[in-house]
A and B are shown apart, each in its own frame.
Chain A
Amino acid sequence: MAELSYREAVAYGIAQEMRRDRSLVMIGEDIAAAGGVFKTTVGLLDEFGPERVHDTPISEQAILGAAMGAAMTGVPVIAEIMFSDFFAVCWDIVANQIAKSRYMTDGQVSFPLVIRTANGGGVRFGAQHSQSVENWAMMIPGLKVVAPSTPEDVVGLLAASIRDPDPVVFFEHKALMGAKGAVPDGEIVDRLGTAKIVRAGTDVTIAALALMVPRALDAADRLERDGISAEVIDVRSLVPLDTRTLLDSVAKTGRFFTVEENPRLCGWGAELVSIVAEEAFWDLDGPSIRITTPHIPLPAAASLEDLALPSADRIHETVSKSVEPRSGA
């Protein structure tokens, strides 16, 4: 059992897979000699050499095109897009080429590749280096979408993503990089499409992702003190989506909340709420409520960014307000 930071877990997970599969290679800007701007790839160049851990020019289309072309001709690739906001300059390759080509060719080609990217806010980088864009990826047929919240999940879900035959967009959260957690010894391989109940509860279900998971857990502690028992589910994988775990939880609690860092419109929680509305309506004892970043670009100032992102305070307050009238009745 090792205590690793989230950023160390990234390199740890990649190394585990590169040792296992000698054909696996990795490319990105500043990932090799510099060890990545978030230091998530430290040590990989030393262990695996420049043929397998390869610095690229600042050319996101060329990076993802190379990953796609290599993957479709038998070489699995991990490609890094430094900040997830930068997907906007190479989204053609992601959304039109990688995601659609298997379907367009009726299954002639496969894309065993992982696109890792630093996602989300909380680090005062301003609007163009902070957005949570997991919902961009979620709405593209053909992609799988993963966003871990703990070091152990980073390793296990990264391994699962690398071993998956489909293209996976893997969101690493910038504000979690320093978070520490226990990582068991030996090979760790998780499963995509599995949500995790990270805190059991009976009164409300709170679904959260990445940075929002520790905040939801913090809020759940406070709710407990208020006499509200919250079940917190780390969604972990948006595609495939583990609706079973969510629906089972809602059947038990009767209340459903999402905590989303993405700006409100078309956030991933909207899909979850719609599934709950369609399939668990008769289990509900009150409205489903989405707690999200407002429909704004993220501001840079610490005070403003803190107001924008869902905080433990806001989660606590929102849940407790919406549950209180019932408990008081």
Chain B
Amino acid sequence: MRTDPRYDYNLREPRLPAPVDHSLVDAPIDIEVRLGMYQTLEELRRFGKRVHDLFLQNLVKGTTHLSLGMEAIATGFGAALRPGDYTFASYRGHAHSLARGMDPGAAMAELLGRQNGILGGKGGSMHLTDASKGMMGSYAIIGSHLCIANGAAWSAQMRGTDQVAVAFFGDGTTNIGAFHEALNMAKVWNLPTVFVCENNLYMEYTPIDVVTAVEHPAAGRAAAYGLEEILIDGNDPDAVYLAAVDALGRARSGSGPTLIEAVTYRSGGHSRADPGKYRPQAEVDAWVDRDPLPLYHARLLSLGVSEERLDAIREEVARAIDAATEFAKAGDEPGEASLLTEVYADGGSRWRN
């Protein structure tokens, strides 16, 4: 049996979560906003679990990247964003899509490769997009969408609106060139872009600290671009919401970009093919104890919300996800009619006369 942590990352010292900041219970967040976040958390969790189940039933093909355990980040930002704002997500974009109001049935149908999917089955799990909701896409090659988010922010700046573009990405993205190009340009052009690094401690199968020059992969680079170092608890919806409100307000008022590192943890592996065995069990256990859902449930109870009200929210979400699943399963598989459409703006793919 090997004992060298260079060969088996699960033999490394566990990286444990910071303790909960219980003072956040007193944060000035409206109770309706908090109940909304509770509902979103539940929706993202149930949706993610359902996708996992459908994968095991071989109804979701290919690959899929879940945000189980990481839902507080999409939730906090979803509550703070305004309808006209732009979201750019990575391939791990289901949570961000739903948090911007994408119909869960259309999202689920897309994962099942159905005609009634949000993209007609052409995009799939890694490319969920609903431009009508400001969800401007999920981009599956890391880095570029930070640059693209800048473009949307620049466009808002030129058009004189107060829209903000938010780019969500993982810790692994902080080591690709586009991350650095995007931060530099955002600062130089004073763009209303908010960069949100979801640091779940693993780039894919490799611990981020093994491959990164600084302790905090995003926050540790902020100073190089004249930005404040912001490190938040990505498993606490209130902490995320407060940071989001702050950053979005800064962007809207013309004060430029913000880089936020939200520390979190994946409950499962990187993608459906990955059981996540490279992580020390003590670490996994410690982060399970920091799961955002029980944390937020307890916080709402301590704020005087009744168990019955929370039950009702959970039941409503459960019904919605069941309905979404049925909608998706009932969809037809797309056929030849759509294969050659929408390559070009004339709706087709014709490249010659």
Contact = CB atoms under 8 A, between A and B. Distances in A.
Interface of A: 23, 25, 51, 56-57, 59, 61-62, 64-75, 77, 92-93, 96-97, 101-110, 141-142, 144, 164-166, 193, 239-244, 275
B281 interface: no
B343 A69 contact: no
B143 interface: yes
Nearest to A52: B158
A73 B84 CA distance: 11
Interface in B140-156: 141, 143-156
Interface string B311-353: 0000000000000000000000000001001111101011111
Contact of A59 (B131, B158, B185): B185
A93 B144 contact: yes
A57 B152 contact: no
Contacts of B159: 74-75
Given A62-B178, A109-B137, A93 B353 contact: no
Given A75-B155, A104-B127, A166-B345, 16 more contacts: A65-B178, A66-B148, A67-B151, A69-B136, A69-B154, A92-B144, A93-B147, A97-B144, A103-B343, A107-B341, A108-B119, A141-B351, A240-B351, A240-B352, A240-B353, A241-B352
B347 to A, nearest CB: 7
B328 to A, nearest CB: 16
Contacts of A25: 158
Interface of B: 86, 88, 119-120, 122-123, 127, 129-132, 136-137, 139, 141, 143-156, 158-159, 165, 177-178, 181-182, 184-185, 188, 338, 341-345, 347, 349-353
Give the most central of A59, A72, A108, A244: most B CB within 10 Å.
A108
A72 B152 CA distance: 7
A64 B86 CA distance: 18
Given A97-B139, A106-B342, A107-B347, A57 B123 contact: no
A61 B144 contact: yes
B311 to A, nearest CB: 37
Contacts of A62: 147, 150, 178, 181-182, 184-185
B343 A73 contact: no
A28 B325 CA distance: 47
5 contacts: A61-B182, A62-B181, A68-B148, A106-B119, A106-B338
A241 to B, nearest CB: 4
A243 B351 CA distance: 10
Given A72-B136, A73-B155, A74-B159, A65 B119 contact: no
B154 A66 contact: yes
A61 B338 contact: no
A291 B131 CA distance: 46
Contacts, number: 165
A105 B177 contact: no
A70 B185 CA distance: 14
Nearest to B188: A57
Contacts of A23: 158
Nearest to A241: B352
A260 B177 CA distance: 34
A296 to B, nearest CB: 29
B44 to A, nearest CB: 22
B193 to A, nearest CB: 9
Given A57-B185, A66-B185, A96-B144, A165 B345 contact: yes
Give the most central of A69, A71, A73, A241: most B CB within 10 Å.
A69
Given A65-B150, A74-B155, A141-B343, A108 B144 contact: no
A105 B127 contact: yes
A26 to B, nearest CB: 12
Contacts of A164: 345
Contacts of B178: 61-62, 65, 92
A224 B153 CA distance: 58
A271 to B, nearest CB: 9
Give the most central of A61, A65, A108, A275: most B CB within 10 Å.
A65
